[in-house]
Amino acid sequence: TLQGETLTVPLTLVTPDGMKVTKNFIFSKGSHKIDVSYVVENNTSTAKQMQQFGQLKQSMLEQDGSMFMPVYRGGAYSVEEDIYEKYTFDDMTDKNLRETTKAGWTAMIEHYFVSAWVPPQDQTNKLFSTVKQNTNGVIGFTGESVTIQAGETKQINSILYLGPKDQDTLEQLARGLDLTVDYGFLWMISKYLFYFLQWIHNIVGNWGYAIILITIVVKGAMYPLTKKQYESMAKMRALKPKMDALKERCGDDKQKLQKGMMELYKKDKVNPMGGCFPLLLQMPIFLALYWVLLESVELRHADFIFWITDLSAKDPYFVLPILTGASMYLLQKLQPMTMTDPMQQKIMQFMPVAMSLFFFIFPAGLVLYWLVSNVITLIQAKFIYASMEKRGLQTK
C-alpha cells in the first residue's frame, strides 16, 4: 500500500484455529530504515502468548578487506552495560551469545554497510547468536512475551535497518548503533575528526578537497611538534661527520663505538630520540584520521578530479601512489641515517619503494591524505631548516 512518502508491504498468516498475524514492512522514501509491525488478532476463544523474533544471517566464508587494510566483517550487539561489542564469527562458533538486556540491538557489519535489528527500547530483550551449517553466522533477538486475550488485537513494533553506515542516522535509531562505524580504539578522536571533515565538505562540496583541507589544518596544528622533530634531526645530521670519524677509529669494536656515540651525544647535547618523541605524539591524530578515511561510507563513489571518480577505490592509473612514494623518498633524505649496519641502511632506503607498492591497492582517498601530509611535511621541514641556518645552526 502506497501512502504519500511510505510504502507498506503486508504479509498475512491465518492459523486454522483463527489467529491472524499481519507482518507489515513499512518503507519510507529516502530512508534505509524499515519499520516492522506485527498486528496480531486473536479470534480464538483462549488467550495466546506471542513473542517477537528477528535475526540476521551472514556467510562466514566471505572476506572483507585485506591484511594491509583490515576492516571488520561480522556481528555486533549492544546491552545496557556495554554500549557496543563486536561478536565475531569465531565467537559465534566457540560460544552462542546469550544476553538479556533493557533495550539493546543486534547487527551484522560489513565495510561500508550494516544490517541491524532494533527491538522496542522500552522493553527487556534477549540477544542470541548461533551458527548454521558451519557456514552461516546468525545473530538476533527475541522480545518480551505478550499476552493477547481472546477477541483482542495487539500491535508489536521493531525497526530493521539495511543500509550504509551513516553515523547521523544510526545515532538516532539506537544508543551506540553509530559505533558500527568502526574507528578502533581511537574512536573518540576519529568521531570529531569526521564531524570536522563533514563540515569542510559542506562548504567545499568535494570530498577530495575536504581531505586536502583537513590534512592542511591537522598538519598546521601539529607544526610545533614537527618543528621539534626536524630540529632534532638537523642536529643529528650535523653530527654525522663526527660519527663517521668515530666509526673509522673504532673499527669492528661495537662496544667501544656505542660508548663513543653516547659521549658524543652528551658533549654536543643531542638526543638521538629527540626526533621520535614528537612523532609519537602526532601518531594518534594521524591514525585517527586514517580510520576516518577508511571507514566513512561518504567516500564511496565520491568523485574527486580528473581520473579519480571513486575515493574509496584504488587510483586506476597509480599516479597518487607513485607521487606518494616519491614524497616518502624525499622525506627520507631529510632524515639522519644513524644506523651503522649497511644492511639496515639498505632496508631503510628501500622502504619508500615497498610502501608505494602497498599504496597501489589502498583507496585513493587514503593515498591522497598520505601524499598531502608528506608534501606539507616537506615544506615545513625546508622552512625549519632555513630558519635554523639563518640562526647560524648547521643542518647538513
Least confident of 4-18, 43-57, 299-313, 376-390: 376-390
Average pLDDT over residues 215-242: 79
Is 396 among the domain residues? no
Q: What is the CA radius of gyration of the chain?
A: 29
Is residue 208 located within the same domain as residue 336? yes
Q: Which of 157, 182, 207 is the last residue of a domain?
A: 182
Is 395 among the domain residues? no
Is residue 155 located within the same domain as residue 80? yes
Q: Which of 148, 182, 216 is the last residue of a domain?
A: 182
> Parallel, antiparallel, or unpaired for β 136-148 and 98-102?
unpaired
Is residue 101 located within the same domain as residue 74? yes
Mean pLDDT estimate for the chain: 85
Rounded Cα–Cα distance for residues 97 and 88 (Å): 11
Residue 2: what are its φ and ψ, rounded to 5°?
-100, 120
Is residue 102 located within the same domain as residue 202? no
With a cut of 60, say whether residue 393 has pLDDT above it.
no
Residue 228 pLDDT level (bands cut at 50, 70, 90): confident
Q: What is the CATH number of the domain that holds 112?
A: 2.70.98.90
Estimate the crossing angle of helix 276-295 against helix 223-238, to 10 degrees: 130
> Parallel, antiparallel, or unpaired for β 136-148 and 48-59?
antiparallel
Residue recorded with cell 499476552 = 147
Hey, CA dihedral for 282, 285, 291, 297, is it positive or negative?
negative
Residue percentage of the chain with pLDDT more than 90: 50
pLDDT digits (tens, 9 = 90+) for 34-89: 999 999 999 998 999 999 999 999 998 877 655 556 788 999 999 999 999 999 99
Is residue 267 located within the same domain as residue 129? no
Is 325 among the domain residues? yes
Is residue 138 located within the same domain as residue 227? no
Residue 369 pLDDT level (bands cut at 50, 70, 90): very high
The pLDDT, as a whole number, for residue 331 is 82
pLDDT digits (tens, 9 = 90+) for 9-34: 999 999 998 899 999 999 999 899 99
Is residue 356 located within the same domain as residue 208? yes
* pTM for this model (two decimals): 0.80
Which residues sit opposite 338 in a β-bridge? none
Is residue 344 located within the same domain as residue 216? yes
Is residue 329 located within the same domain as residue 352? yes
Is 252 among the domain residues? yes
The pLDDT, as a whole number, for residue 381 is 84
The boundaries of the domain holding residue 327 are: 190-390
pLDDT digits (tens, 9 = 90+) for 91-130: 999 999 999 999 999 999 998 999 999 999 999 999 999 9
Q: For the chain, how many structural domains are there in total?
A: 2
The pLDDT, as a whole number, for residue 75 is 95
Estimate the crossing angle of helix 276-295 against helix 364-390, to 10 degrees: 160
